[in-house]
Structures are given as C-alpha cells and as structure tokens.
Amino acid sequence: MSLVLEVRELVTEFRTEQYHVRAVDGVSFRLQRGRVLGIVGESGSGKSVTALSIMRLVPSPPGRIVQGEILFHHSDGTVVNLLALPEREMRHYRGNRIAMIFQEPMTSLNPVFRCGDQVMEALMLHRRMTREQARERTIELFREVGLPDPEGMLDRYPHQLSGGQKQRVMIAMAMSCNPDILIADEPTTALDVTVQATILQLMRQLQRAHQMALIFITHDLGVIAEIADEVAVMYRGRIVEYGPVEQLFAQPQHPYTKGLLACRPRLDRRLRRLPTVRDFMEELPDGTIRERLRVSVHEYIEQLTVTPQEQQQRREQLRQSPVLLQVEDLQVHFPIRRGVLGRIRGYVRAVDGVSFEIRQGETLGLVGESGSGKTTTGRAILRLIEPTGGRVLFDGQDVRALSGAQLKALRRQMQIIFQDPYASLNPRLSVGSALMEVLRVHGIFDNERQRREYVFWLLDRVGLERRHFWHYPHEFSGGQRQRIGIARALAVQPRFIVCDEPVSALDVSVQAQVLNLLVELRQEFGLTYLFITHDWSVVKFISDRIAVMQQGRIVELGDADELYANPRHEYTRTLIAAIPAARLEQLQRLRVAAGS
C-alpha cells in the first residue's frame, strides 16, 4: 500500500502571558492508503491538537505550529508539505483531500441551516457542482450512511435529529468529496453503545469501500480494537507506544499503555477495584516515567478479582438488608401540545409502569439507550420531576405524599450526582461557597467555622485538596468537577444517591478513579445507589443487580453477573453484543469475522 500522509517531528504550542504549553511535542507517524491509524490517550494528551495541526485549524492566537513537516503524498507520486502552503491553497486540501469529523456534531453543524444545505455547500464549493447536482449527490450520501428517509432529511434542521443521525450527517459531509484521508475525532464518545456500534460499522464499511485512510481518535482502547490497524498511544504530547493493534493488546510495552488497557471495567470478571494508570506508572519531577508494577496486566487483574466466596457473601449480606426504596408502577407522562391554543393532543409515556426495590447498601444499575426513560425515572423518584402515577416509598414513607418541610427533610437523605457537573455547578460560586451553601440551607452545624472544617474534610475525602475550597468550577478538569459533585451529594450525609451517568463524559482512566471512589464511599458510609448509565461494562462493575430499560419499561432485572452471562430479553442481548472489544481474544475473533 502507498503512503498518503507523513508527519515528521510535529510541535504545536499554546502560548499566552500566563502559560506556555507544548500540546504536541515531536510527534511523527506514517499513514498508508486504505489503513486505519488509531490515536489513543487521555484528555490533554495532544490527540485532537495533532488532528487540528494536520488540518491547520489550530486556533491562533494562542496556538501555533512551531516546527515539523506534514507531507501529503498524491497518488501520482508528488509530495506537498501542508505547513508550507498559503492559506488559499490549503483550502483545496482541507475538506476536499483531508476531511474531519468532530466529536460533537451539534457544535459542528450550523443550527440555522438545513442539514442538506450544509452538505450541498461543500459539494458546490469543492466539486463545482450545480445546486441540482449537489442535491442528488447529497441524497446518495445520506442513503450511503444509512439515514432514514434521505430526501426528507435534506430539509431537517440539526435539532430535529438524534445524536446518531447528526453524526451520520457529519460523516456524509466528510465523505462528500471522496477524501484521501478522513480524521475522526472522538466520533462516538457521546453515543449509546448500540448507536456507537452502528457508527463504527458504518465507518469501517465506508473506509474499505473507498480505500480511504482513516485516523481515528479516542480515549477508549475498546473502540480502537474495533476499527484500527495500527495504534499510536499519546501521553503529554508525545507518542509513547506505536504498533499493530494486536501487538498492543498482546504485549503492551509502556506502563501508560498497560494502565489504559487495565483501567477499563472488565466484563469477564468482577473486581474489588479498578486498576488506574497511577498503579502502573509514576511521573518524576524531571518528566521521566518510572514503572511501578513488576507484574503483567493479567497478573495484576488476577490479584484484584473477587472470589466466588466473596461474591456469595455479598449476596447473602444484601438479602438480609431491609428494603430502603420501593418503586411501584411509576409513571411519568409528558403532554404533547399543538396548535395556537396549545391543546393537548397526546402524551409521551417516558416512564410507563416501572417497579423495583433497592435494599440498604445495594447498588441497582439502570441501563438502556438514550430516551429509554432512565434519567426521568431517577428524577421522578427524587421528585425533581413530578410523577404522573405510581408510588415511591423511601424507608416506608410515601415520597409523593410529602410537601414543604417534610419533603425538604427527606431531601437530606436522597441526593443526586448529575451527568454534567459543570452545568450543575454555579460558575460564580467557588467550590467552598457552593458546598457551604448546601450546609446552610439544611441547617447543618451551628456556625461557619464548623461548616468550613467539614467542607475541608469532604474535599479531602473525595480526593481534592484544601486549596480547592477557593477555586471556581472552570479551574477544574472533568474528573475533578465530578468529585465536587460527589462531595456536594455527600455534604448532607444522605442514605440514598441517584448517580445519573456520572462517568460517561470522562476518560477511561479518570472514570476508573471516580468509580473506585463511589465504591469506597458506599462501603464507608453504607450508601445505597441507583446507578444510571448506558455503558454495560461500567454498570456491571459497580452494580449488584441490573435493570434494563427500553421505551419507558423495565424489560429485564436480575443479578448483574447472571444477567450478563445469560440475558433473556432480545434487547438485553443487543446491548451486550454492541459492547466494543476490549480484550485480545475478542479482537482476534473480530478480525477473523471481518476476514482481515
């Protein structure tokens, strides 16, 4: 296969009066036509900045490409250094020869233009098509990427499409000019596991059909295993390991790679705690990395595996615990209003007769796709959304019958951790002020000194520092913000917490740290969780039992390990089948099935 892209010693910096960051630090790699290069690493590793550098889309100021070469190899043998081209000539390559799919399609699609017009614009600009020709080509593209009703999709606006449909529009736009190289920057991160599986399958099909080179960027090695031929592992702006995907899974060399492989929750066994990258490596003050563990990833996983006796002991302990939460025939219906007068024409049955119970100290996982009713169920239990019908009994009290002071008192015992901690934190309040406010509202402690000392203790307990008391939400990483959300939920000393997708937006390594923290807090304070997620590997790690939701109903409920091993409902089997390959054995089966 011929070479299509060569990156040599690329350095990209961000420089202001306050800071100087070398986001990409001497990165080099080669990309062959018809091959897939996976770039994997945590947030801040330089993955996306590498992609933006190739496209020459690094925001300037404060960013600039300091040195290096980005060589594009034409099929006729000519080679062009993209960094040396004037901007006008670069436009011939950007979007035409090299296309990019961004992580969040809603921020990439213009909300005031129809989807069809946005794809047609690229065709008319780069391919000099007439509007009618561009329209016909766009319909073909929408059909190729599997959008329902391709002609109808032309006239729809981005907000009228689901997350998976918006991503398909972005893929159609990127494919419109038959690019030599397609860069996909975290294209499946925000999607349900089933939608993710269909998008990955679609990208594999298009890449092979068009013999296109693909750079696939992600933080999840399980996703990389599904699609990549070679993998580059990035850490702090550098490639620390590079090689064929099978070799990476079979014999990882760098401790950072070992940590990334190990920290993803396992489906084949239950662990006491998840391994983290810190377990495998230590970064010294001079920037060098020292390996901490002298055992293999497999041996370390064996040490953390829960024994059958421990599992049985946990089950027996929960059977003897009293029921803390009982949900009976819960219903939440949202009215559909139409016409000038806003008359009710029907109802959306978001939650349609849900029943379950959770024992004290237990974690019940609630898993399903977006729109299945998971989050609405959690919020209705706390009465953040008023239920339409049914009963919610907390420690024998009917939650729906309470009001005023009684409901406020109950709220101390029932808390929630939101999916997006940044959206749920007041950007104008420091972390300390936000936590102190919670204590004041509920009248916890007699004076400000006691409250402040308690907040210091809370910050320490969730893995933050005392100095963070005076910091604001924008000064924290995603994982740190989620720890703040956990501290806020813990502040009133609750007995029950709804965890609403608390790790879905986090890197797998940070995700492991937060999940370990939740398990530790459950053991330390005897907490009871309703854990809501669409990620089966996450829910299986933390849950004692799992309830599977589809279209507002629970279609299957049972012991977490038993449900995964022997799913009875077709929908449960579909969810499990869509989980990305995360182990060498799965990867090898996938390669055989694909005929590669």
What residues does each domain of the chain span? 252-306, 361-385+400-585
Residues 140 and 172 sit within 8 Å (Cβ to Cβ): no
The DSSP bridge partners found for residue 234 are: 239
Query: In the 8-state DSSP scheme, what is residue 231?
Result: E
pLDDT at 164: 73
pLDDT at 243: 93
pLDDT at 220: 82
Query: What's the pTM?
Result: 0.86
Using H for helix, E for strand and C for coil, what is the string for 104-160? CHHHHCCCCCCHHHHHHHHHHHHCCCCHHHHHHHHHHHHHHCCCCCHHHHCCCCHHH
pLDDT at 95: 80
- Report the amino acid identity of residue 45: S
pLDDT at 542: 95
Tokens for 181?
Answer: 């190289």
**Superfamily name and number for 361-385+400-585:** P-loop containing nucleotide triphosphate hydrolases (3.40.50.300)
**CA gap 290, 41 in Å, rounded:** 18
Residues 588 and 233 sit within 8 Å (Cβ to Cβ): no
Q: Which 3 state secondary structure label does DSSP give 25?
A: strand
The bridge status of strand 36-40 relative to strand 230-235 is parallel
pLDDT at 86: 93
Q: Please choose, from the candidates 42, 5, 45, 6, the residue with its C-alpha nearest in 3D space to the C-alpha of residue 25.
A: 45
The low-confidence residues of the chain, meaning pLDDT below 50, are: 596
Residues 68 and 83 sit within 8 Å (Cβ to Cβ): yes
**338-341-343 Cα angle (round to 5):** 50
What are 440-465's pLDDT values in tens digits?
988 899 899 999 999 999 999 888 89
Other CB atoms within 10 Å distance of the CB of residue 437: 15
Using H for helix, E for strand and C for coil, what is the string for 418-479? CCCHHHHCCCCCCHHHHHHHHHHHCCCCCCHHHHHHHHHHHHHHCCCCHHHHHCCHHHCCHH
Long-range contacts of 250-258 (CB under 8 A, 24+ apart): 250/584, 252/297, 254/289, 255/280, 255/281, 255/289, 255/291, 255/292, 255/293, 256/280, 256/281, 256/289, 257/233, 258/293, 258/297
Residues 393 and 328 sit within 8 Å (Cβ to Cβ): yes
**CA gap 145, 142 in Å, rounded:** 5
pLDDT at 504: 79
Residues 6+ apart with CB under 8 A from 355: 327, 328, 329, 330, 390, 554
